[in-house]
Structure 1
Amino acid sequence: MTYDLTPRPLNKAPRTPAMTWPNGARSAVFIGFDVDAETAWIGNSPSNIDRMVTTSHGGYDARVGIARIVGLMDELGLKATFFTPGWTALAHPEACETILRAGHEIGHHGYLHKMPDRDRLDETFEEIDRGFDALQRVFGKRPVGYRAPSGENFPELIAYLARSGIRYSSSFRDDILPYRHAASDGMPGPVEIPINFAFDDWNFGMSSRASPRPLFGREAVLSLWIDEFEATHAWGGVTTLVLHPQVSGRPMRWHLLRDFLRHVQEKGDVWIATGEEITNHFEALERHRGAS
């Protein structure tokens, strides 16, 4: 492939005007969990399928993490979005169905958590289709939100997601407000609810023998999350969480997440919403601006 390195904005999506949030809220918080289970360890490294200790990191989701996270959301009276690979749903249907029974949103997170690859479009699109099929089989519904496995995306995939009925994505890291993608086929793309990388719990709470990294303790992470949330709140943006039951479902990190979410709730003027709710609000504002 020949790469076009011409200087230009690489994301052609228009910027969003200053937003108003529902109920007089100053900012929004989007609680998103990636229910990767074992796919985090085998999707891009299939040889790990025969390394049971390695994959046991992901096995924690179904054995402990999902139930603990669903319980925490119930304790706090919150609804979240659970981005679930199709493989996870098929491998652990009982654990995954507890998410739906608790009233949370199900999002698309690929099939085997393979990183989307522009050089392998057919394989990338197959991952989307297989993911839809598996989620439909287990949950009986077709998701409207998507988070890219391994956090990658490209113009052809954005267009394919829109054609497949995906209304919003939550993968990009280039804004603090939602915006509308400009798809490569000339049609409107999905709404993007961008991520702040500081809120990805994998960065602070996951390590392994194959890729050892330091782990960060409670005070370091909690202070970072509170400071970043407070600044985003002051700017009127959306704080998007990228959490994993195999990380934040661990005992200390469960308590850390609970303390952070309690801090957010105590603020009072924060709208805590699912991805679909934020998308509905964004699209209502779009219609209002279009009618003005």
Structure 2
Amino acid sequence: MGDIRWPDGKKCAVMFTFDVDGDTTWENGNRGLKNGEKYIKSLSVGQYGPKRCVDRILQKLDQYGVKATFFVPGLTAERYPEVIKRIAEQGHEIGHHGYAHERFAGKTTEEQIEIIEKTQKIFKDLIGHEVTGFRTPSGDWAKNTPKLLYERGFRYSSSMRGDDRPYRTVIDGEETDFIEIPTKWEVDDYVAMAYHMYPAEPAGQDRISSYRLVEDNFMREFKGHYREGLCISYMNHPQVIGCPGKIQILDHLLKYITSKEDVWVATGTEIADWYRKQSEK
């Protein structure tokens, strides 16, 4: 059903991604609250990710020989430069995730360009090169965002939800070499397990999910994608999946998936480049 030829006859593709938002998400949320800047505990939730959880994740990835893609806001890179350099030095891919985790939807063309280029300069100064992968922060982008990215040398995005296979993005009515690698809410650790009070996450404050059930969901999605020969992109956040209890979910996924010799585990660039080549007309 996948109709995609994966490298070396592999049956399906798996992409492990981590959005290193740091405290940007909580800063943005707090702005809508009275005296929000005083909610120091809120900021500490995001700070926990780069300060403690990234290294725990890197250890697990190294244990199973997996290279992942880390989408990073420019502001996080400025605040935690040594963490981002460590990710890159260990052979993982860095991707663009806005500057301050701001929504591109509603931004003017000029504002989007400023965000894109400002963060690219940060990456070039920090890791020696601009990045070519993008994930839109906070769930959506403006209609012209793909065109702005493509014109500036980006090769792929992992932002949309409308497929379980990579595809060529249509820009100005034409299919392009800008590849989309969709992800899904069902494999997003944040919507399943993130919890906080200020700002409320989730809004109803009605759950702290069972880790066992979340792992079961994630595993079932992999098995479904594997059965149909598709591409699954796990979307994780260090402050969520990287804590001492939840890291076992990642451990079990990595152990099970890497035990299958007919599964291709790859970075966003590797998947995008492969799909672009094999889908040429």
TM-score by length of 1: 0.88
Which residue number corresponds to residue 260 of structure 2?
267
Q: 1:133 aligns with which of 121, 126, 139?
A: 121
Q: 1:256 aligns with which of 238, 244, 249?
A: 249
Task: State the secondary structure of the residue aligned to 2:245.
Answer: helix
Which residue number corresponds to residue 235 of structure 1?
228
Does structure 1 retain, via aligned residues, the 8 Å contact 2:177–2:276?
A: no
Give, in angstroms, the shift of residue 189 of structure 1: 5.6
Does 126-135 or 246-255 show the bigger shift?
Answer: 126-135
Give, in angstroms, the shift of residue 17 of structure 1: 7.8
| Residue deviations 1:17-53 (CA, integer Å, cap 9, x gap) | 8111112111100111101001121245446444211
State the distance in 2 between where 1:19 and 1:49 align: 49
Aligned amino acid, residue 236 of structure 2: L
TM-score by length of 2: 0.92
Which residue number corresponds to residue 36 of structure 1?
21
Which residue number corresponds to residue 272 of structure 2?
279
Consecutive unaligned residues of structure 1, counting only runs of 5 or more, are 1-15
Aligned amino acid, residue 25 of structure 2: A
Q: 2:132 aligns with which of 130, 144, 155?
A: 144
State the distance in 1 between where 2:252 and 2:37 align: 35
Q: 1:102 aligns with which of 78, 82, 90?
A: 90
Aligned amino acid, residue 229 of structure 1: F
Q: 2:6 aligns with which of 21, 31, 41?
A: 21
State the distance in 1 between where 2:23 and 2:8 align: 40
Task: State the secondary structure of the residue aligned to 1:182.
Answer: strand
Does structure 2 retain, via aligned residues, the 8 Å contact 1:117–1:124?
A: no
State the distance in 2 between where 1:101 and 1:17 align: 34
State the distance in 2 between where 1:40 and 1:269 align: 37
Task: State the secondary structure of the residue aligned to 1:267.
Answer: coil
State the distance in 2 between where 1:60 and 1:176 align: 31
Does structure 1 retain, via aligned residues, the 8 Å contact 2:169–2:175?
A: no
Give, in angstroms, the shift of residue 228 of structure 1: 1.1
Q: 1:165 aligns with which of 153, 175, 178?
A: 153
- Identity, % of aligned pairs? 32
| Residue deviations 1:156-180 (CA, integer Å, cap 9, x gap) | 1110000011100000001011000
- Asked whether 1:55 is paired with 2:43, we answer yes
Aligned amino acid, residue 8 of structure 2: N
